[in-house]
Amino acid sequence: MQKVKKQQQHKKVIFKTVCTFVISYLIFLILWIQVKDYYGKGILFTASHLIAGIKDVTFEEITEEKDRDIIKATFSPLRHGSNILIDIPLKTSSYTFNAPLTFAIMASLYLFIRKRGRAYGEALLILFFVHLLYVFSFEAKELTKVFIERGLEAVSNPRIFAYQFLWSFTDNMVIRFEPFLIGFYMFIRFRNKS
């Protein structure tokens, strides 16, 4: 008798979780389509200011190509005058395409975690820093490539390798699995013990 009740309870929890996931995914997808360009600009703006100090460039501006989902960051090298401008185009959806899925997984874990405010706060910070790392490493890789091609920077194979590896790892591993990594982190770190 008790086994039957537990099975019914488990079925209810599974049904609630699946419904929460599906409904929240649709809602987050619709909302994300509306806000992803603003989010992309904010990430690009932050990463561009960080890379400006490391690569010895001045961050000039952000421009947007509305039809193609591309945002460009424009830089000028400090040591060779400001008459050289370098545009680094970046497709926003190349690193934000998983965000609605991540949010839906986070929402579906609501029944299974404690300290929900902290759990969601940490998960959103991880998501933000993963996206920031993606844009930062992409800009570093592209600026290094352009500087070497134009003779503005000496060829440094370890530096090229480091930027290429960081961007490739972030692009091919972290961005692709980010929803599941964040969901796994939230569940392991904040799961209900009962």
pLDDT in tens, 30-56: 999 999 889 999 999 999 999 988 888
Total domain count for the chain? 1
pTM above 0.85, yes or no: yes
**Which stretches does DSSP call E strand in 13-119?**
57-65, 70-77, 86-91
Closest alpha carbon to 71 in 91, 52, 98: 91
**In sequence order, what are the beta bridge partners of 189?**
none
For residue 162, give every residue at least 6 positions away whose Cβ sits within 8 Å of its Cβ, in sequence order, or none.
none
Tens-level pLDDT at each residue, the chain (194 residues) = 567 677 777 788 788 888 889 999 999 999 999 998 899 999 999 999 999 888 888 888 988 887 678 899 988 888 766 578 888 899 888 888 899 999 998 888 887 888 888 888 999 999 999 999 999 999 999 988 888 887 777 787 788 888 888 888 888 888 888 899 988 888 887 777 76
Range of the domain at 86: 2-190
Q: Are strands 57-65 and 70-77 parallel, antiparallel or unpaired?
A: antiparallel
- What's the CA gap between 177 and 25, in Å, rounded? 17
Q: Give the Cα separation of 136 and 132 in Å (integer).
A: 6
